[in-house]
Amino acid sequence: MTSLADFFARVEHSTMAETVRDSTVVTGMLSGLHLIGLTLIVGSSLVSLAAIAGLIVSDQPVAEITRATRRATLFGFIVSLATGLLLVSFRLAMSTASRAFQVKLSLILVAILFHYFVFAPAARGQQSVLPPRLAGAVAFLLWLSVVLAGCAFILFE
């Protein structure tokens, strides 16, 4: 069985990883798409929070607004995941050794679990361990923390 270091080396030397590493255009496009995905996640969380808190004047029920934002969150997560994997593919060993990257991945896991097991039921009006407004605020802060951890990774790598 190969070691994790061997796996990382194979990924880092793959054609795909070398293409991303060697092309500033590809890297720039992936970075831009990654930021769009993160914007969809954080923005949809903020809209959901505003709807739950009653800050958005709308003739639509809160559950209808949060249903639309769930789709944006899911799409943003898929885009961010795909582009993030490509962006770290050529520096996988260095990235996984970075404390900031480890914190970012941990925050992503916590944000996903919180979003789907606490926030989503609260936003639908179902039973949740937290009141809807608090669940919305925590979900937004978790996703914002993911973005800030990503900034720390970029600044301190």
**Model confidence over 93-151: pLDDT tens digits?**
899 888 999 999 999 999 999 988 998 888 887 888 888 889 888 988 999 999 999 89
Q: Are 100 and 153 in contact (CB under 8 A)?
A: yes
Number of folded domains in the chain?
A: 1
The two structure tokens encoding residue 18: 């070398």
C-alpha separations of 42 from 3, 59, 69, 111, 142 in Å: 36, 23, 10, 11, 9
Q: What range does the domain containing 122 cover?
A: 4-156
What is the pTM (predicted TM-score) of this model?
0.83
Q: Which runs of consecutive H residues, i.e. helices, occur in the chain? A: 4-12, 15-22, 24-52, 62-88, 92-97, 99-114, 120-123, 132-156
Tell me: the pLDDT tens digits for 53-81?
A: 778 767 777 778 888 888 898 999 999 99
Cβ contacts of residue 146 below 8 Å, gap of 6+? 38, 41, 104, 107, 108, 111
